[in-house]
């Protein structure tokens, strides 16, 4: 498997198997990143900033993986990227800036909670879109044969 292509290229198609292997690698990298960032810059920066840095590092490979999966489903990547990634990015930025969220201490840990009903509704809608993306990327079969984005990844 060509990992450089998998995590850096926005062209071509990948099947569900490559997608799930890529997701597994991103999850493992995320845990390693959390530990490394937590022990290095986490001592000097607020938790929200460390989270933002980690998210930015993981975002590009996740986007590349997802766009190739959309191509396999014969869907243009740009409009779907806004739909699938936009709400999550907006929620993350709102949490970091504190817009619509409040910080509480629970069991000695600082947690961020929605401070009003509108943010709660937006969170639920974002979760629903996330589930839709999960089905679209990881469960539904790609286009049989070649499509406008390249050859069938199951036949190459």
- Residue 48 has a pLDDT of 67
The pLDDT value given to residue 42: 64
pLDDT in tens, 83-96: 888 888 888 777 77
Q: What distance separates the 2 farthest-apart alpha carbons in the chain?
A: 55
Instruction: Report the percent of the chain where pLDDT is more than 70.
Output: 97
The tens digit of pLDDT for each residue in 20-77 reads: 999 999 999 988 887 887 777 766 777 667 777 778 888 899 999 999 999 999 988 8
Beta bridge partners of 3: none
Instruction: Write a three-state SS string for 86-145.
Output: HHHHHHHHHHHHCCCEEEEEECCEEEEEECCHHHHHHHHHHHHHHHHHHHHHHCCCCCCC
**3-class DSSP state for residue 150?**
strand
Cα dist from 82 to 2, 19, 72, 98, 151, whole Å: 27, 19, 18, 23, 25
User: Which two structure tokens, joined as six digits, stand for 127?
Assistant: 């979760």
pTM score above 0.75: yes
């Amino acid at each position: 498997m060509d990992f450089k292509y998998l995590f850096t290229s926005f062209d071509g198609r990948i099947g569900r198997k490559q997608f799930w292997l890529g997701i597994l690698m991103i999850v493992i990298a995320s845990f390693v990143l959390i530990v490394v960032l937590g022990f290095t810059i986490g001592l000097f920066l607020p938790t929200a900033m460390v989270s933002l840095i980690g998210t930015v590092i993981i975002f590009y490979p996740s986007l590349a993986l997802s766009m190739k999966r959309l191509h396999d489903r014969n869907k243009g990547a740009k409009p779907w990227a806004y739909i699938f990634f936009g709400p999550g990015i907006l929620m993350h930025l709102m949490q970091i800036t504190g817009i619509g969220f409040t910080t509480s201490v629970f069991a000695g840990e600082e947690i961020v909670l929605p401070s009003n009903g509108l943010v709660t509704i937006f969170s639920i809608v974002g979760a629903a879109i996330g589930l839709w993306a999960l089905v679209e990327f990881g469960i539904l079969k790609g286009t049989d044969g070649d499509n406008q984005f390249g050859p069938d990844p199951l036949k190459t």
